Amino acid sequence: MTKSVNINIVLLGPPGAGKGTQAELLNREYGLVHISTGDLLRESVKEGSETGRKIAEYMENGDLVPDEIVTKSLIERMQKPDAREGVMLDGYPRNKAQAESLEQALSASGKKVDLVLYFKTSEEVAVDRLSGRRVCPGCKKNYHVTNMPPKNDMICDKCGVELIQRKDDNPETVKKRFNVYQDRTKDLVEHYSDKNILCEMDGDLSAEELFDRISDLFKDKGLVDDASTG
């Protein structure tokens, strides 16, 4: 990595918009730290505590986990040293109250949300992506059975372990998650648009095309520090 982008970015868009895939590409190219509240919650579920069991119920039903649980987990993660130079938030905020909690947490250390990338995605594309999604349980890398298969049959290219399908990636739960997201997100699009930090992207594009568009946007906005020329 020779380039870096040091700002706080929110990746907004329904499940299946490709936020995780873009986050992985942006991390590799620009060193942006990727924080996914879905991943944080799945880690809590794995720990098997009472809270973890409650979280699992919400997630498996495609419902949102209560704000106080998610926000606490996010804030703890954002206090780790690697998050100081800026982060890319994936899956948070999901409603206005969370957006306000995020703004408070950032402003306490003199920061703010600098940019919101809104991946506008059709339901058809999102459902297809999620139904075919397979995930590495080790490194969390996402694959797709047809669009982005691993080199060897359902084995992670990096870790060599067998890929899994998330419990909430079945077609019925996927549709519910998509609708829950659309319902809550309308407010957020308006909220960030009013602040003039919202950039709408076409979430139906392929991962490569979308990544190129985001890279162009970073350049146009003068956000990229190129260490190789510096």
Query: Which residue, judged by CB position, is nearest to ligand AMP in the bound state?
Result: 38
Rule CB under 6 A: which of 132-171 touch ligand AMP? 168
Q: Does 35 bind ligand AMP (CB under 6 A)?
A: no
177 is catalytic: yes
Q: Does 129 bind ligand AMP (CB under 6 A)?
A: no
Gap between the Cα atoms of 1 and 27, Å rounded: 9
- How many contiguous H segments (helices) and E segments (strands) does the chain have? 8, 9
Q: Are strands 115-120 and 198-202 parallel, antiparallel or unpaired?
A: parallel
94 is catalytic: yes
The interface region with ligand AMP, picked from 76-84, 86-94, 114-122, 217-225 by CB under 6 A, is: 86-94
Q: Closest approach of Cβ 168 to ligand AMP, in Å? A: 6
| Cβ partners under 8 Å of residue 35, min gap 6 | 74, 77, 78, 83, 87, 88, 89, 90, 92
Q: Does 14 bind ligand AMP (CB under 6 A)?
A: no
133 is catalytic: yes
Look up residue 127 and give its amino acid.
V
Contact map string, positions 15 to 34, toward ligand AMP, x by CB under 6 A = x-------------------
Q: Closest approach of Cβ 31 to ligand AMP, in Å? A: 22
Q: Are strands 133-135 and 142-144 parallel, antiparallel or unpaired?
A: antiparallel
Q: Does 88 bind ligand AMP (CB under 6 A)?
A: no
Q: Closest approach of Cβ 222 to ligand AMP, in Å? A: 30
Q: Does 102 bind ligand AMP (CB under 6 A)?
A: no
| Cβ partners under 8 Å of residue 193, min gap 6 | none
Q: Does 41 bind ligand AMP (CB under 6 A)?
A: yes
Beta carbons within 10 angstroms of residue 56's beta carbon: 19
Start-end of H helices in 115-206: 123-131, 171-194
> Which positions are annotated as active-site residues?
19, 94, 133, 166, 177
